[in-house]
């Protein structure tokens, strides 16, 4: 069975994003990241890491798009869920996910 990380994504007006895992996720190996990224790069991260906005119903069932998740992030703090094996462990991994 895979472990789900609960990640809070905070942003300011300068396209700086902070990925902050909850304390349970940190115990299982999740790390905090801060990166400057455009909305396209953030969408690339959400897509490649297969991020979900909740654990009970899939996004496709509720017709939620990654664009709507990005809009929620830009409005304020947003929590998302990522499988542990998909979440980047280092800054280099995060950078390669967002930039390719």
Max alpha carbon distance in the chain (Å)?
A: 38
Is residue 20's pLDDT more than 90? yes
Q: What is the mean pLDDT of the chain?
A: 87
pLDDT at residue 66, rounded to an integer = 85
Q: What are the sequence ranges of the domains in the chain?
A: 4-99
**Per-residue pLDDT at 39:** 86
Please give the average per-residue pLDDT across 70-96, as a whole number.
Answer: 89
What are the tens digits of pLDDT across the range 30-63? 999 999 998 899 999 999 998 887 766 666 566 7
pTM of the shown model:
0.84
pLDDT at 28: 92
**The dihedral sign for the CA sequence 99, 81, 36, 66:** positive
């Amino acid at each position: 069975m895979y472990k789900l990380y609960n990640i809070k994504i905070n942003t300011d007006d300068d396209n700086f994003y902070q990925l902050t895992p909850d304390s349970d996720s940190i115990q299982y190996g999740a790390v905090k990241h801060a990166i400057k990224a455009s909305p396209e790069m953030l969408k690339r991260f959400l897509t490649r890491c297969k991020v979900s906005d909740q654990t009970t119903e899939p996004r496709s069932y509720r017709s939620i798009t990654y664009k709507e998740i990005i809009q929620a992030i830009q409005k304020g703090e947003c929590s998302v869920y990522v499988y542990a094996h998909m979440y980047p462990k280092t800054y280099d991994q995060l950078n390669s996910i967002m930039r390719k």
